[in-house]
């Protein structure tokens, strides 16, 4: 099998597997004060500290990490928690992009139904429209901004750092949230450099287990009480996510982050090389690569010549090659991809686009075989009648 769908999920790395097996025998409740409970609490604390270090946060006075059940839950906590906490404050405008992950976009639809003004900033050709950001800041009504770092379908890297810096200069009271799930440990992702108050992370995009995510929260947000919990109960995770912690998942998350940290730049250079090689091969064969102005090193968006992406996916799968047609979270949706149309594709081309995403285990041989299989599919499959 050739696995080229690492943006959907990654194989569990050896370090995460070993840490999870170890944690399975430390069965105590982390809230218990006896030895067995404190062993489990120690695993949670070690993972939390390790992940914070990957974010460049070594001083607990700078920020905290709240473990959640997924990246989606982390983004929900960031957005709903901010809106609930700041409802009593001035400001009714929320900025986001026109190509966010459903975990953010569907929240925005809810906020609109509640009377908030949501402005979706354009991302044509994978470039964030900073002039549009400036125009919206003239009113001083912006109280929340949520921009993803790397688009999960096109691989576009958005200039979040500049956008957030402008927002905070113009409106220091605004809260900035970054969905960094696709960019974490793959490109520049540290919250301080991105001017992000809140940042969403997910374990299974970096070799960790599914079912565990995290929200980074800058300490000042806590001091100003600008975040409210969504799940109430025993007060775990500093009161922001009640419920007994998923010790096994947290241990796996921490181990995966620790394993990737020393080699993330090397991994990025390597996957960028594979991405470039496949891009050149496919371009020469007549495929259209949707190249953002700034591209993440691991994602390649390719438009097929009049062949439905779903048809090509089945063809490739039969040959043991795994790619996707976009976000795995919305793969069953019948609508045209918002991310691809925001990039600039029409509905027809969006329906003919596949996403190929690399991980540290991929090889040049994978690239060669994938290119050959795509060429065979292009020559074999029935094309759409326009």
The residues annotated as belonging to the active site are: 329
Give the per-residue SS3 of the chain: CEECECCCCCCCCHHHHHHHHHHHCCCCCCCCCCHHHHHHHHHHHHHHHHHHHHCCCCCCCCEEEEEECCHHHHHHHHHHHHHHHHCCCCCCEEEEECCCCHHHHHHHHHHHHCCCEEEEECCHHHCCCHHHHHHHHCCCCEEEEEEECECCCCCEECCHHHHHHHHHHHCCCCEEEEECCCCCCCCCCCHHHHCCCEEEEEHHHCCCCCCCEEEEEEHHHHHCCCCCCCCCCCCCHHHCCCCCCCHHHHHHHHHHHHHHHHHHHHHHHHHHHHHHHHHHHHHHCCCEECCCCCECCCEEEEECCCCCHHHHHHHHHHCCEECECCCHHHCCCCCCCHHHHHHCCCHHHHCCEEEEECCCCCCHHHHHHHHHHHHHHHHHCCCCCC
């Amino acid at each position: 099998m050739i696995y080229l769908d690492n943006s959907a999920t990654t194989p569990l790395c050896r370090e995460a597997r070993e840490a999870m097996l170890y944690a399975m025998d430390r069965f105590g409740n982390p809230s218990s004060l006896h030895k067995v409970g404190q062993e489990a609490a120690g695993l949670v604390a070690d993972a939390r500290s390790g992940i914070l270090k990957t974010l460049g946060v070594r001083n607990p006075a700078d920020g905290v990490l709240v473990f959640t059940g997924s990246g989606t839950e982390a983004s929900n906590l960031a957005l709903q928690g901010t809106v609930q906490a700041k409802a009593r404050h001035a400001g009714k405008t929320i900025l986001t992009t026109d190509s966010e992950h459903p975990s953010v976009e569907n929240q925005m639809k809810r906020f609109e139904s509640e009377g908030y003004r949501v402005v979706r900033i354009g991302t044509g050709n994978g470039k964030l429209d900073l002039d549009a950001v400036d125009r919206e800041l003239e009113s001083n009504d912006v109280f929340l901004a949520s921009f993803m770092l790397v688009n999960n379908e096109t691989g576009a890297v958005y200039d979040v750092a500049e956008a957030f810096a402008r927002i905070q200069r113009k409106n220091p009271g605004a809260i900035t949230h970054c969905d960094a799930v696709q960019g974490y440990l793959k490109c520049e992702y540290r919250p301080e450099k991105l001017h992000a108050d809140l940042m969403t992370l997910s374990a299974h995009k970096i070799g960790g287990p599914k079912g565990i995510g995290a929200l980074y929260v800058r300490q000042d947000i806590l001091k100003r009480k600008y975040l409210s919990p969504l799940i109430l109960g025993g007060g775990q995770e500093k009161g922001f996510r009640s419920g007994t912690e998923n010790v096994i998942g947290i241990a796996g998350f921490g181990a995966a982050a620790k394993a990737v940290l020393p080699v993330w730049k090397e991994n990025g250079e390597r996957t960028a090389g594979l991405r470039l090689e496949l891009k050149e091969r496919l371009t020469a064969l007549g495929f259209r690569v949707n190249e953002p102005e700034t591209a993440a090193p691991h994602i390649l968006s390719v438009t097929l010549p009049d062949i439905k992406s779903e048809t090509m996916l089945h063809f490739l799968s039969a040959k043991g090659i795994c790619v996707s047609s976009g976000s795995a979270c919305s793969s069953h949706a019948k609508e045209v991809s918002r991310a691809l149309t925001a990039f600039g594709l029409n509905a027809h081309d969006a329906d003919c686009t596949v996403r190929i995403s690399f991980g540290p285990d991929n090889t040049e041989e994978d690239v060669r075989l994938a290119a050959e299989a795509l060429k065979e599919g292009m020559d074999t499959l029935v094309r759409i009648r326009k």
